[in-house]
Amino acid sequence: MISLPTSLPSESARAFFAYHLKRYREGKGWSQPALGAKVNISGSLVSGIELCTRRPTFKVCQKLDEVFGLDQFFEALYPRVIEETGLPAGFPEFVDAEAAAGMMKKYENFAITGLFHTEDYARAILRVFQPPEKLEQLLAERMQRQEILYRENPPVIVALLDASALRRRFGGQEVMHVQLQHLLDLAALPHIHIHVVPEDAELFPEGSFTILCSPGAPDSAYAEMACGRGRLIDDDGYVADLGVLFELIRSKALNAEDSQAAIRKALEEL
Q: Give the tens place of pLDDT for each residue, 77-103.
A: 888 887 777 666 667 778 878 888 999
* Tally of domains in the chain: 2
* Percentage of the chain exceeding pLDDT 70: 93
125 and 202: one domain?
yes
Q: Answer whether residue 124 is part of any domain.
A: yes
Structural domain ending residue among the three candidates 33, 56, 85: 85
129 and 37: one domain?
no
Structural domain ending residue among the three candidates 85, 110, 132: 85
Structural domain ending residue among the three candidates 68, 85, 102: 85
Please indicate whether residue 226 or residue 112 has the higher confidence score (pLDDT): 112
204 and 72: one domain?
no
Instruction: Give the model's confidence band at 220: pLDDT under 50 very low, under 70 low, under 90 confident, else very high.
Output: very high
Give 13-44 pLDDT, tens digit per residue.
Answer: 888 999 999 999 999 999 999 999 999 888 88
- The residue among 71, 49, 69 whose CA lies nearest residue 60 is 49
pTM for this entry = 0.73
Q: Answer whether residue 191 is part of any domain.
A: yes
What CATH number did the domain enclosing 133 receive? 3.30.870
Taking all residues of the chain, what is their mean pLDDT, rounded to a whole number? 88
115 and 183: one domain?
yes
135 and 79: one domain?
no
129 and 165: one domain?
yes
* Contact residues for 35 (Cβ-Cβ < 8 A; gap 6+): 25, 28, 43, 46, 67
Instruction: Give the model's confidence band at 105: pLDDT under 50 very low, under 70 low, under 90 confident, else very high.
Output: very high
Helix axis angle, 91-100 to 58-68, nearest 10°: 70
What average pLDDT does the segment 145-164 reach? Answer: 93
Q: Which domain holds residue 152?
A: 91-268
- The residue among 86, 97, 112, 218 whose CA lies nearest residue 148 is 97
Q: What was the pLDDT predicted at 251? A: 96
Q: Answer whether residue 3 is part of any domain.
A: no
Give 165-217 pLDDT, tens digit per residue.
Answer: 999 999 999 999 999 999 999 999 999 999 999 988 887 787 899 999 988 88
Q: Answer whether residue 1 is part of any domain.
A: no
166 and 229: one domain?
yes
Q: Answer whether residue 2 is part of any domain.
A: no
Q: What was the pLDDT predicted at 45? A: 84
121 and 255: one domain?
yes
How far apart CA 145 and CA 84 sit, in angstroms, is 17
Q: What was the pLDDT predicted at 9? A: 52
107 and 199: one domain?
yes
How far apart CA 149 and CA 73 sit, in angstroms, is 30
In this model, does residue 8 exceed pLDDT 90? Answer: no
151 and 201: one domain?
yes
